Amino acid sequence: MTEPTTPTAEVTEVTEERPHPLTPLVQVWVWIVGMAFFVGRQLLENPTQPIPADLARFPWWLAIVGVLGLVSIASNLWNWYTTRFVVTPTELRVEHKGVEHESKRVAYTRIQSVDVTQRFAARLLGMAELTIDVGGGSPIRLQYLSRTRATHLRDVLLARAHRHEADADAGASDLFSDTRPSDRVLVTIPTQELLLGAALSHELIALVVVTAIPLVIGVIVGQVLLIGGGLLPLVFSIGGFLSKRVIGQFNYTLAETSGGLRITRGLTSLTSETIPAHRVQAIRLHEPVLWRRIGRTRVDLSYLGLRKLTTDEDQAGASSIMLPIGSPDAVRTALHAVWPGLDLDAIVLNAAPRRARWIAPLAWPWLGWGVDDRVLVIRRGWWTRTTWILPHARLQSLRMSAGPVLRRLGLATVDAHTSDVGTSASMIMTDADARLFLAEESHRAREARGTQRLLGIVRA
Amino acid sequence: MTQTAEPDPFAPDGTWQGLSPRYAVVRLVTTAITNVVFWAIVATASFFMVGRPELTFALAAAGAIWTAWRLWRVRRWVNSWRWTERDADLCIARGLWHRQLTVVPIGRMQLVEVSAGPLLRWQGLAGVQLVTAAAHTNAHIPGLDKATAVALRDRLIERSDAEGSGL
């Protein structure tokens, strides 16, 4: 491996690099841990004779697992040996010369976001995976680099995506975060806040209801065994859920860096996403019914290439979550990080017509939509109240539709489409309003696109 | 319904174009095939599983009525499609029961596909599919004359280059 001596020297000189040599081992770490466990137990039980004379004592499946593990180590080794990547002044090239030759080229201007993920085993060995999202198609993964190399490469890629040079002060980040002195930390979420959010989440309610069924039956029937058997899974699943949520979101940090917004999180596996703010296509605010009591909101954002990513709150890797739980202040800070000066409270929402109560009896008082000169705001939902914030300039298409019931009521649904992974934003209006809205909104979207083109904010 | 008194919001003013009348022929064939096959399977299965001829006859009759109604509606359904190119966007209106009006800004089109299966080719038709960055957009115009479809595609691509504003 040709590690450059100083970060800046590498900007001009073009060298081919391989991923870290320990990559094949990290990829099969589960197997290694399993084998070490078996061998270790064997040694403990029988220190003089690690391999028993009577080989038939080994379970037959252990041999299969062993062989499969060796085969996958060999194939991973071959993969590692045949993979090289090159950082040139104009593009990142990933060459794979195994049985099939493959060369992927990423033009820096096409980069949507770059993530550094350290899964558990990789983290123990100080290694990280780099995921480069280029919009359409599958993202490009580099497995694995040393952590400093990964973060430095991330900085270089993002800097070139923004057409300026990388900061020289690479690497000064500790074990649980990924921030530099030059970065501005906007929001961090304390662990108790995460616990509070998880305790009041719909997932926990569902979990309690499902696992409490045997308990309730046990109490009714008077079976002690059923009560005990129902209580244990209840305790375990709640504990598991809470710890998983807290471990996944541990030390959640939203920071503003020169490369874009950076989200860092995780206790066992550390995930660090960087999204240029001008790539954000839309923002969604989720307020589940219980969170509304304590004034908390989840913020999701969508950008191109999110198709493959998860909205799951517990997984490692890139997700669409911008803020897993936030007070109104934190939400405002997050919104301003993407669209400075946006005042959500100043946007007056038009209420839905009374007739819409037949369609959405609970959510009816919250239905609404409003516009200002930059964004379209749509709010709906009772169980989870969702507010979409869509910039006019990002609107992809509009649709009004009405089935027999809606038409009988003189109503129509209007959907505003962006490159969003979730459900599309929709609102209920009278059909005359809907028609008017379609005309006005497409005009607004066109104006906004024109302005952006003039300012050169959006690059083709 | 109130729509006779007021202008129908789903059938807007201006010059709108419909699909080719020959598309109704294609739809008649596909509707007939799918419905006949479906009801034949249902009726046969009921005969072998329940073994009561009167039930089978009832199902076959229901299937025949349903198929006839679907076939009768095909022409109206095809006629319900309307599309127009305006100065900055393409509008598509459709549907009898579930009515829709889709507006796609021309600057937002990522690619335009023209495609035709064997039945469409038999009638000299083609469908146009518009793809934007949003998965929900789903804007397509089925059953245009092949020349119209190709001309629409070329025009859209050309205008999309001029209007385009990236992402």
Sheet of A425-430, strands arranged across: A425-430, A411-417, A397-402, B99-105, B89-94, B82-85
Quick check: B101 and A401 in contact, CB under 8 A? yes
Q: Write down the pLDDT at residue A342.
A: 87
β-bridge mates for residue A88, sequence order: none
B-proximal residues of A, 379-408, CB under 8 Å: 393, 395-404, 407-408
Residue B164's contacts (CB-CB under 8 Å, 6 or more residues apart) are A460, B107
Helix (H) or strand (E) holding A133, with range, is: strand A127-133
Cα distance from A391 to chain B (closest Cα, Å)?
12
Is B139 near chain A, with CB under 8 Å?
yes
Is A302 near chain B, with CB under 8 Å?
no
H helix runs in A165-323, sequence order: 191-199, 202-221, 224-249, 289-293
| Nearest C-alpha neighbor of A215 from the set A232, A198, A227, A233 | A227
Q: Write down the pLDDT at residue A313.
A: 54
Nearest Cβ partner for B137 among A397, A404, A407: A397
Is B42 near chain A, with CB under 8 Å?
no
Helix (H) or strand (E) holding A186, with range, is: strand A184-189
Quick check: A450 and A392 in contact, CB under 8 A? no
Task: Using an 8 Å CB-CB cutoff, list chain A residues near B93.
Answer: none
Check residues B100 and A452 and name the one with the higher pLDDT.
Answer: B100
Alpha-carbon gap, residue B167 to B165, rounded angstroms = 6
| Nearest C-alpha neighbor of A402 from the set A416, A415, A390 | A415
Residue A35's contacts (CB-CB under 8 Å, 6 or more residues apart) are A65, A66, A69
Q: Write down the pLDDT at residue A332.
A: 92
A263-271: average pLDDT = 86
Alpha-carbon gap, residue A362 to A358, rounded angstroms = 10
Is A256 near chain B, with CB under 8 Å?
no
Q: Write down the pLDDT at residue B27.
A: 93
Give the nearest chain A residue to B166 (CA atoms): A460
Give the nearest chain B residue to A395 (CA atoms): B108
Q: Write down the pLDDT at residue B165.
A: 53
Q: Cα–Cα–Cα angle for A49, A52, A58, nearest 5°?
A: 140
Extract the tokens encoding A75: 């194939």
Nearest Cβ partner for B101 among A281, A403, A438: A438
Alpha-carbon gap, residue A217 to A214, rounded angstroms = 5
pLDDT tier for residue A9 given thresholds of 50, 70 and 90: very low
Q: For A113-137, write each residue's pLDDT tens digit.
A: 888 888 888 888 888 888 888 766 6
Helix A202-221 with A224-249: angle, nearest 10 deg = 170
Quick check: A370 and A377 in contact, CB under 8 A? yes
pLDDT tier for residue A10 given thresholds of 50, 70 and 90: very low
Task: Using an 8 Å CB-CB cutoff, list chain B residues near A415.
Answer: 136
Cα distance from A98 to chain B (closest Cα, Å)?
34
Average pLDDT, chain A: 81
Q: Write down the pLDDT at residue A226.
A: 64
Neighbour-count burial of A373, counting CB atoms closer than 10 A to its CB (0-12 exposed, 13-18 middle, 19+ buried): exposed
Helix (H) or strand (E) holding A298, with range, is: strand A297-303
| Nearest C-alpha neighbor of A449 from the set A399, A385, A374, A376 | A374
| Residue ranges for chain B with pLDDT beneath 50 | 1-5
Q: Write down the pLDDT at residue A13.
A: 56
A389-397: average pLDDT = 89
The three state secondary structure string of B75-138 is: HHHHHHCEEEECCCEEEEEECCCCEEEEEEEHHHCCEEEEECCHHHHHCCEEEEEEECCCCCCC
Q: Write down the pLDDT at residue B69.
A: 94
Q: Write down the pLDDT at residue A308.
A: 47
Read off the DSSP letter of residue A48.
Answer: T
Q: Write down the pLDDT at residue A459.
A: 40
| Nearest C-alpha neighbor of B64 from the set B36, B37, B87, B86 | B36
Q: How far does Cα A319 stand from its chain's mean position?
A: 1
Yes or no, beta carbons of A401 and B100 under 8 Å apart:
yes
Check residues A171 and A42 and name the one with the higher pLDDT.
Answer: A42
Extract the tokens encoding A39: 């061998």
Task: Using an 8 Å CB-CB cutoff, list chain A residues near B137.
Answer: 396-397, 417
Yes or no, beta carbons of B98 and A404 under 8 Å apart:
yes
ipTM of the complex: 0.84
Extract the tokens encoding A247: 């471990």
A216-239: average pLDDT = 76
A71-77: average pLDDT = 89
Q: For A352-378, write each residue's pLDDT tens digit.
A: 898 989 888 888 888 999 998 889 999
Alpha-carbon gap, residue B80 to B63, rounded angstroms = 25
The answer on pLDDT for A149 being more than 60 is yes
Task: Using an 8 Å CB-CB cutoff, list chain B residues near A419.
Answer: 133-135, 167
Q: Write down the pLDDT at residue A11.
A: 46
Q: Write down the pLDDT at residue A49.
A: 64
The answer on pLDDT for A260 being more than 60 is yes
Cα distance from A355 to chain B (closest Cα, Å)?
15
